Amino acid sequence: MAEPKRASSAAAPCKRRTRLNADLASSEDKLNRHWRTAFLAVLAETSNVSAAALAAGVHLSRPYKLRRNDPDFARDWRGALLEGYENLELELLHRLRFGETKDGEMKFDNANALRLLGLHRETVARERAMREDEDIGAVRASLQAKIAQLREQVVARRAAEEGPHDG
């Protein structure tokens, strides 16, 4: 049986891509946030966006669109990937240090794991740097608060040493 002919791309109507406006995006977020938790959890576990979208029950394009439009989700996405790559690194190091069974049910492709780590090294390094930057900011704020406290103690001690002036 012959296959039916497909219409040429010139004859087919062009599907128009739409961009969500801010009002629609915010209402969509309020109604449909439930999938994000599952998506980010599976992304952290597998480092695989397709698997995460499938597990969350959403089309693959949806998390990508949200990542472009929502900085908080983009940050959570990078954090999940960082966690996933850290887990992958640990698993790979364990297998490299302690070996792996050849006949076991779970097989691990070290070459692909190394390739994946290499491909995302820059992303992971950037996320680690941003997290360290946050930690440095917290340390600086803590140090500034401690210095202010010490200044107050010095001023109070000097005032007590001078005592009341008669005269």
How far is CA 133 from each of CA 29, 53, 81, 129, 142, rounded to the nearest angstrom?
29, 30, 18, 6, 14
Encode pLDDT of 95-143 as tens digits. 766 667 777 666 667 777 777 777 777 877 787 777 777 666 776 777 7
pTM > 0.75: yes or no = no
b/e per residue, 15-43, with b = 16+ CB within 10 A? eeeeeeeeeeeeeebeeeeebbeebbebb
What's the DSSP call for residue 62? H
What does the pLDDT read at residue 131? 77
Using one digit for the tens of pLDDT, what is the confidence trace for 144-153? 888 888 888 8
Residue 150's contacts (CB-CB under 8 Å, 6 or more residues apart) are none
Measured distance CA(161)–CA(35) in Å, rounded: 64
Q: H/E/C letters for each residue in 118-163?
A: HHCHHHHHHHHHHHHHHHHHHHHHHHHHHHHHHHHHHHHHHHHHHC
At residue 23, does pLDDT exceed 60? no
Q: How many CA atoms lie within 13 A of 80 on its CB side?
A: 23
Check pLDDT > 60 for residue 15.
no
56: which residues sit within 8 A by CB, 6+ positions away?
A: 35, 36, 38, 39, 42, 63
Distance between CA atoms of residues 139 and 133, nearest Å: 10
Mean pLDDT of the chain: 76
* Mean pLDDT confidence for 8-32: 50
